[in-house]
Chain A
């Protein structure tokens, strides 16, 4: 079997997939569910409920505001307690809707049966109808970034989609949510892929899975054997293969040019397996996005597990369900150890993009102190975008934003491979992100100035 992979850079972090064989179970309902209004890239959603309103599971509580935005649905039934702020995974205070949970009453339109609906039985589903249902269900990218899915399904007129790539790579260490989803709901994911292919009017679908998940590769290969349009692509294990651009390179051998180009510029529409599943549920079951697979894991947790979690559930409750935090210094991450965000407290709620709650304990929670750069060039070798991280970090510290822009800092995907590989333990990505933020601000201001002229 020939294994594909991306061509530049990459690193090999320890796998640590502790919960691979733990079947996902439904997490207990929280007492209070908290829904930040900004769970996606784009404008925050606008609340449509007020204090004292009764809601059911699946009731829309906030609507999309603007083109790049997504509505938010309640994952619980109960009464709206307040609209206040909460510290979310980014560490910022964000407006959020708090709902006191009472019972578990679902909206009637949601089909809760387990029967598999296929596209063959639903000729009424035109591409426009699929996109509309995906948009109305508030589906956003489930891999972490949280870009509203319907936008990816309506590519700009300058680009032409040629295939849909389902991202089952899960290259982040520790996380097993996508793997469990592939093992437990392969048929739904494949119908989801079918829907995505119809929505963007293509006849080719790929499913990219890394070699460390042989069971998922076998299962999906078997399930797609009869369908010549769909191909499962086994990939060599290498981080950050789950990055959109790296995955397109690995699967199609095409490299997406520097921003503003996007994957569809080279013909690819990339969607996470979780997104494919959410699309299936949104279109076929009329179930909006309020529930997801989330891994709760850590070397020192009593029993790492996979949960089907109602959004709004606080991290603390999930960690308790796995035996609680160990008695030492801990770092609790929304996401995996490479790109996850360390949370400030355990009241942070699970959101649309929370694929994992990862607990790093003891020495793993701490960074080692930085030493002088020895100019070994290992960061340059590791960078999957072909950048020079040591240089970008230095220029960022010097605030030399002109040169930083010339050195293509905006291409950085924040994967952290540079810092992971640095023998001197230097905070390379910390510095680059600071400089990248400044440069993005400058570019935005420059474009705004151009438009007003």
Chain B
């Protein structure tokens, strides 16, 4: 005869778990990962594996030797951070720099705050931005796709984003004619010797597949990705109409890290607002900041900075933006 167990209600659980959600995001990233293997070959495999392995190692080492806590590797969050960091790097990125990036992501971005759930900024983006300001040359040289056995020796080229930036700076809208077509950008098919960008952002279609998967499995809701994409579409569309030196809004959305950020980075549970209302405010602000930084800032890409800036505002949004209370609205039928 067993024991009689007593606890407060509820006694049932939906069987959701942290690990299930993290694993779900990793699965959703697989199409984009496979596409990057297809376009960048050896380099992308080396970069991704190094990044994942080092993030997991640092998480294990810090929990075991510094914090002296049970290891948290099994929740898959370190693996996800590693994967996201890898996908935010160019495929010719040297291993020793990746190790530094992983240490900053896990050590500074996550563990200094107390581990999973306590960090203010998205750890993978902390790592990425640290690398961007520390090694600007390595972080802005983009291999041309299709070099299967190349790693650090890969031939690089300008990305669509840098072309857009030059068009704005020089005021020459004809430069934009050299951009790949929207269809090519959707598939990741970069022609005329352009570098495609980071590994994760090459194929928009693969990222959108991941979005559909996460929405179906209710890992994330539509609020953040849709509000970001819609804001960018409207804002850059207005700019494009006003002045043709600003690129076509569809190409703006399909280029650079916008979709990767909107779907996988901005939706990070820990660093995004808790309520749907808050998530929409957050998404709209990220959209505006991204377009502003891309067009008028000194970097060609603004997605990661926009997300990090809004990460900092998340506690404020949570404080002021409340969900719609039951009975708050006057009754409909009266």
| A330 contacts across to B, CB distance below 8 A | 2-5
Interface string of B312-331 (1 = CB under 8 A from A): 00000010001111111101
Q: Please give, as numbers and ranges, the residues of chain B lying within 8 Å of A223 by CB-CB distance.
A: none
B326 to chain A, nearest CB (A): 4
Which A residues touch B116, using CB under 8 A?
372, 374
Proximity string of chain A (331-346) to chain B, C-beta cutoff 8 Å, 1 when within and 0 when not: 1110101111111111
Give the interface SS of chain A, mostly helix, strand, loop or mixed.
Answer: loop
Give Cα A261 to B328, complex, Å.
12
Q: A377's contact among B75, B275, B326, by CB below 8 Å, is which?
A: B275
Query: For window 338-379 of chain A, which residues contact chain B by CB distance below 8 Å?
Result: 338-346, 360, 364-368, 371-378
Give CA–CA (A320, B125) in the complex, Å: 60
Q: Mark B262-274, 1 if CB is under 8 A from A, else 0.
A: 0000000111111
Q: Does A96 contact B (CB under 8 A)?
A: no
Min CB gap A201→B, angstroms? 20
Distance (whole angstroms) from the CB of A113 to the closest CB of chain B: 40
B17 close to A425 (CB less than 8 A): yes
Contact (Cβ within 8 A) B333 A13? no
Q: With contacts A252-B333, A374-B18, A377-B275 known, is A331 near B11, CB below 8 A?
A: yes
Q: Distance in Å from the Cβ of B80 to the closest Cβ of chain A?
A: 11
Q: State in angstroms the CA–CA spacing of A329 and B11 once bound together.
A: 14
Given contacts A254-B332, A341-B9, contact A383 B17 (CB under 8 A): no
| Most chain A beta-carbon neighbours within 10 Å: one of B2, B9, B322 | B9
Indicate if the CB atoms of B10 and A388 lie closer than 8 Å.
Answer: no
A423 with B221, Cβ < 8 A, contacts A258-B325, A429-B9 known: no
Within 8 A of A (CB), among B1-47: 1-14, 16-18, 20-21
Give the interface centre of A346, A386, A408 by most chain B CB atoms within 10 Å. A386
Partner of A173, one of B4, B12, B275: B12
Cα-based distance from A73 to B17 in the complex (angstroms): 48
B10 cross-chain contacts in A, Cβ below 8 A: 337-339, 416, 419-420, 429
Contact A388 B323 (CB under 8 A): yes
A127 and B289 CA atoms in complex are apart in Å by: 66
Q: Known contacts A329-B5, A332-B4, A381-B221; decide if A342 and B11 are in contact (CB<8 Å).
A: yes
Judge whether A342 and B5 touch: CB under 8 Å. yes
Contact of A420 among B13, B117, B333 (CB under 8 A): B13
- Compute how far the CA of A341 lies from the CA of B5 in the bound complex, rounded to whole angstroms: 11
Q: A287 at the A/B interface (Cβ < 8 Å)?
A: no
A427–B10 CA distance with the chains assembled, in angstroms = 9
Give A379-395 as 1s and 0s: 1 = Cβ < 8 Å from B's Cβ atoms.
Answer: 01101111110110000
Contacts known (A383-B323, A421-B14); A375 close to B328, Cβ less than 8 A: no
Task: Report the nearest A residue to B19, measured CB to CB.
Answer: A423
A11, CB-defined interface residue at 8 Å: yes
Q: Are B327 and A338 in contact (CB under 8 A)?
A: no
At the interface, yes or no: A55 with Cβ under 8 Å from chain B?
Answer: no
Contact B12 A338, beta carbon cutoff 8 Å:
yes
Q: How far, in Å, is B7 (CB) from chain A's closest CB?
A: 6
In the complex, A397 has a CB within 8 A of chain B: no
Interface pair B1/A366, CB less than 8 Å apart:
no
On whether A375 and B5 interact (CB within 8 A), knowing A13-B12, A340-B11, the answer reads no
Q: How many residues of B contact A (CB 8 A)?
A: 47
> A275–B44 Cα gap in the complex (Å)?
67
Contact B20 A411 (CB under 8 A): no
- Chain B CB within 8 A of A257 CB: yes
Decide if A266 is an interface residue (CB 8 Å cutoff): yes
**Complex Cα gap A388–B317 (Å):** 13
Q: Tell me if A107 is interfacial: C-beta within 8 Å of chain B.
A: no
Q: Are B18 and A387 in contact (CB under 8 A)?
A: no
Question: Smallest CB-CB separation from A255: which chain B residue?
Answer: B327
Taking CB atoms, residues of chain A closer than 8 Å to B322 are 388
Q: How far is the CA of A245 from the CA of B327 in the complex (A)?
A: 9
User: Which of A8, A257, A331 sits near B7, CB closer than 8 Å?
Assistant: A331
B334 sits at the interface (CB 8 A): yes
Q: Is the CB of B9 within 8 A of A255?
A: no
Shortest CB–CB separation between residue B23 and chain A, in angstroms?
A: 11
Q: Is the CB of B9 within 8 A of A327?
A: no
Give chain A residues whose Cβ lies under 8 Å from the Cβ of B329. Answer: 255
Of the candidates A258, A329, A427, the one whose C-beta lies within 8 Å of that of B3 is A329
Known interface pairs A173-B12, A424-B18. Does A374 touch B117 (Cβ–Cβ under 8 Å)? Answer: yes
Asked whether any CB of chain A lies closer than 8 Å to the CB of B115, the reply is yes
Residue of B nearest to A433 (CB): B8
A250-302 at interface with B (beta carbon < 8 Å): 252-258, 261, 266
Q: For A249, list chain B residues within 8 Å (CB).
A: 326
Q: Does B118 contact A (CB under 8 A)?
A: yes
Which partner residue on chain B sits nearest A332 by CB separation? B4
Whether the pair A430, B8 counts as a contact (CB closer than 8 A) is: yes
Chain A residues near B5 (CB, 8 Å)? 329-331, 342, 365-366
Contact of A86 with B by CB under 8 A: no
Give Cα A312 to B102, complex, Å: 65
Given contacts A254-B332, A254-B334, A372-B117, contact A378 B16 (CB under 8 A): yes
Q: Mark A402-430, 1 if CB is under 8 A from B, else 0.
A: 00000010010010100111111101011
Known A-B contacts: A339-B10, A411-B326. Give 10 more (CB < 8 A). Answer: A249-B326, A258-B327, A328-B2, A331-B7, A332-B4, A340-B11, A368-B13, A388-B274, A416-B10, A423-B21
A residues with a Cβ closer than 8 A to B are: 8, 11-14, 91, 173, 245, 249, 252-258, 261, 266, 325, 327-333, 335, 337-346, 360, 364-368, 371-378, 380-381, 383-388, 390-391, 408, 411, 414, 416, 419-425, 427, 429-430, 433
Binding site for A on B (CB under 8 A): 1-14, 16-18, 20-21, 75, 115-118, 221, 269-276, 279, 318, 322-329, 331-334
14 CB contacts below 8 A, A to B, read A257-B327, A332-B4, A342-B6, A342-B9, A344-B4, A364-B11, A372-B117, A373-B117, A375-B270, A380-B323, A390-B274, A411-B325, A422-B13, A433-B8
